[in-house]
Structure 1
């Protein structure tokens, strides 16, 4: 087992919470980097390459939503746990759609946060470290998972989001077998607390449009009604 410490980037502007998080996480053996405003958060991600981020939504300079979106566009796939004072389903769905993995509503218990951090770190390595396939061919479409791009006939190139690549990788690890929406929420979104399987349906629909020549009559990313989805490779 490696002695390397997991790095956690905390993006939060409330001094008392910063102190509590830093003290707690360091006592648990994590290396902690702190940003008290939104503008410098992405630069810290590039510099330190954290294993996980704790990200407040309401920040000076740039919102947590904007930071999350930018990080995923840069193809960083580490888990992001968002903190919010709002307890509304729409806020949670928005964060998940932008690439967040989990949510905690303030005030929250430190033990709950630690449990979620450890769960996210465990899950973040469950399949991504063992999947070595970077080039996937689905009929006439070639998908480069390392470059987040799909190449269609006629030299058409379609860019994939980090979440879409994660989704493909997980479906590929279960190729030709059905995968339920709940399983995708837990394993790809790493969000076992959500019952909003509509999130999965929306992402599958967008992904299908990018990797199928005829999305309305898909040959590879198949819906199994009442069951879930399947990626056919044979």
Structure 2
């Protein structure tokens, strides 16, 4: 795997031998790695270290991985979270994913598979690290700040670019108006949340999305882009 310099990974597990194994392997791949052995330290470390990826064990004493995940998302942490579980149970996966986890792996797992999952999450959630990424019919090039749809470049304002990029990268996930405002307009935005509707309308016009099948509205919840 071609590692990009500066990618940070936080490991959270109460089993020392797993932490040591993953630390050695990931550092040898060129990642910056920090670790925590319990939930409380994990939340604090995530705030200080600001990782791109968090590999988080579900079964831990005290605050378990699901609660750690919930707190991280509540705090606005945008790291991609890959949950680890020793139980091959659907309920564990559902709890983790519905709390905000992006992926899961069942112990024991191969290191090669973990690297592949890390690469996939980075490309999906941090495409700017790679310069250019293709997601379904969309192409996002952060170097040019350009988005293409079906091979055609869209004429977008800076805010339209940031909004469409967010929706495409988070495809399949409902983004509420408040979350969009926090990310695209920043926390200091003091205007009305109907500004989101104005920009969504503009994006739909540029995408010729009259039927709202590209950018979907989920009444009372927010907006979602679904990719084939």
| TM-score between both structures, scaled by the size of structure 1 | 0.61
> Counterpart of 1:208?
219
> Counterpart of 1:97?
98
Structure 1 segments, 4+ long, off by >6 Å, are 171-175
Mapped to 2, the partners of 1:82 and 1:69 lie a distance apart of 12
| TM-score between both structures, scaled by the size of structure 2 | 0.62
Indicate the structure whose relative CO is greater, using CA pairs within 8 Å and at least 6 residues apart: 1
Aligned counterparts, 1:1-234, within 5 A: 4-126=5-127, 132-133=158-159, 145-147=180-182, 176=209, 178-179=213-214, 208-211=219-222
Structure 2 unmatched runs, 5+: 128-139, 148-157, 165-175, 185-190, 194-199
Paired positions, count: 173
1:97 Cα offset (Å): 0.8
1:51–1:121: 8 Å Cα contact kept in structure 2?
yes
Query: CA deviation digits over 1:34-53, x for unaligned, max 9?
Result: 00111111111110100100
Give the match's secondary structure for 1:93.
helix
Query: CA deviation digits over 1:66-113, x for unaligned, max 9?
Result: 010111111112210000011111211121111101110001111101
1:13–1:36: 8 Å Cα contact kept in structure 2?
yes
Give the match's secondary structure for 2:56.
strand
Mapped to 1, the partners of 2:13 and 2:123 lie a distance apart of 24
Give the match's secondary structure for 2:34.
strand
| Counterparts in 2 of 1:31 and 1:144: CA distance versus 1, 3 Å | closer
Give the match's secondary structure for 2:182.
coil
1:142 Cα offset (Å): 7.0
Q: CA RMSD in A?
A: 4.0
1:53–1:81: 8 Å Cα contact kept in structure 2?
yes
Mapped to 2, the partners of 1:35 and 1:73 lie a distance apart of 19
Mapped to 1, the partners of 2:112 and 2:37 lie a distance apart of 23
2:3–2:29: 8 Å Cα contact kept in structure 1?
no
User: Which has a greater percent of helix?
Assistant: 2
Give the match's secondary structure for 1:50.
coil
Mapped to 2, the partners of 1:145 and 1:100 lie a distance apart of 19
| Counterparts in 2 of 1:111 and 1:135: CA distance versus 1, 3 Å | closer
Mapped to 2, the partners of 1:175 and 1:35 lie a distance apart of 48
Mapped to 2, the partners of 1:78 and 1:44 lie a distance apart of 12
| Counterparts in 2 of 1:67 and 1:34: CA distance versus 1, 3 Å | same
